[in-house]
Amino acid sequence: MRILVVGAGAVGGYFGACLAAAGRDVTFLVRERRAAQLRAIGLQVKSPNGDFGIEPSDLKLISAEQLVSAKSAFDLILLATKAYALDAAMDDFAPAIGGEAAILPLLNGMRHLDMLSARFGREHVLGGSSRIVGDLDPEGRVLHIEHWQDLVFGELDKSVTPRIEAIAKTMHGASFEDQLSPNILDFMWQKWVFLASLAGLTCMLRGSIGEIARMPFGVETEQAFLQECAAIARASGYPPAGKSLANVTARLTDPQSMLTASMYRDLQKNSLVEADHILGDLLRRGNALGLESSLLQAAYVQLSVYMAGREGA
């Protein structure tokens, strides 16, 4: 199976490196700045589970321009860009879509599924989600920050097709936890509830989960934010399971937790953030269902102000 990884950042870089190290046929679609880093030091991963890397001579890199002229056929597009870069990414990898090619997006939220389906046809789009905390250091090394490293995927219509079974076989044994889920949309919604709560809280209140929890009314605010997001999922037909919601509540109210969202880390670096895709889309869905989500709304407005100021500057 030929795999094209789109977005060799923390998420795409990590899973792509795992697959390449396991002997899978992996090509990375990269822009010139990232390509220069990879040609210089290879794809290096620093992980609590053990450091590893792919040497520059063993890396297969391709640019968008080369993809057009190469007319290469890929079986799987592993899409791991930021949501705000999705339009540009679709333009870049469009020449690779053909035949039975499947797109496995690892973006958060739901709006990207509609965008990908509108552009390439729903038959080419899978559901996918990953649980990994990572970043890139200034030299371009992937920093795998916590032990989590799972990748969950499935067909959007809940079917178990020969295509998804072949993908599952390819993913298995590549040094991360892989799971074929017949109900991938439910899984994605559960993660969206957690991530929107984590991002909204840490960005709006400018601290880790533990720092917020230790403040007066901190735990109550964390619980209220999560309840707003869970209510939207419930009204949308994807109610969080009791045990799952209890686990998420415990993680988002732990006074000793250093957990922050990648959106918060991007905010600290004065980088673009995925506010509209993760918070704004969830808020609009809740509003359409007649739900009031004042904390979610406040967090989204705050991040929208930040983005407007950044773009204006």
Where in the sequence numbering do the catalytic residues fall?
191
How many Cα neighbours within 13 Å face the side chain of 230? 17
Q: How many CB atoms lie within 10 A of CB 256?
A: 10
Give helix 111-120 / helix 86-93 axis angle, nearest 10°: 30
Structure-block tokens of residue 195: 């991530």
First CA to last CA distance, the chain: 45
* CA triple 187-26-151, angle to 5 deg: 15
Residue with tokens 């957690």: 194
List C-alpha distances in Å: 236 to 64, 226, 233. Answer: 37, 15, 5
Task: Report yes or no: 176 and 15 within 8 Å, Cβ to Cβ.
Answer: yes
| CA nearest to 4, candidates 155, 175, 176, 170 | 170
Q: What is the CA radius of gyration of the chain?
A: 19
CB–CB of 169/139 below 8 Å?
Answer: no
Q: What is the DSSP letter of 241?
A: P
Residues 6+ apart with CB under 8 A from 246: none
Helix (H, G, I), strand (E, B) or coil at 112: helix
